[in-house]
Amino acid sequence: MFFNLLPMLVNSAFTIMGASQQQKVLKANAAWQRYESQLNFEYEKQKRLTAQTKLLSQQRAAGAASGAVVGTGSSLLAMQADMEEFENDMWFLEKGLFAETQATNAALAGEIASSTYQAGSSLLSGYMKYDQQQKLLKIAEEQGTG
């Protein structure tokens, strides 16, 4: 009886080990995607911050060259509009990172669920084959002794 069960136990162990290993790989890949997204976000943020700093410096320099006083009139309104646009861009950049991270997490959850389902399905299939084999052996024994 035990020797009939041994192949199913070995198959089950390999199925569980394989699913566990696959889930570790999926988690590592998702962590790398999140890390890469964070790096891209920080790079883009820094690039936009540098561009905004240059723009404000150019606006101040242009205002000073023209003799206008910064802090009054249209030059201040232009700087304020540019800052609002910059802040809006930063907000969308952060929301983009959040959305990308959530998509990665959702994909990971789906892949892990799929892996778990496949492992469970494989185990169930193995058990059903074993059970069917045991029933056939029992029928054969009954017919052989009857």
Q: Burial of 133 by CB count in 10 Å (0-12 exposed, 13-18 middle, 19+ buried)? A: middle
Residue 14 in any domain: the answer is: no
Distance CA 57, CA 129 (A): 76
Residue 118 in any domain: the answer is: yes
Residue 11 in any domain: the answer is: no
Average pLDDT over residues 119-140: 84
pTM of the predicted model, to two decimals?
A: 0.65
* pLDDT band, residue 146 (cuts 50/70/90): very low
- In terms of pLDDT, which residue wins out, 95 or 146? 95
Q: What is the number of structural domains in the chain?
A: 1
pLDDT tens digit sequence for 48-60: 999 999 988 888 7
What's the whole-number average pLDDT of the chain? 85
Residue 13 in any domain: the answer is: no
Domain that holds residue 62: 35-140
Q: For position 120, what pLDDT does the model report?
A: 85
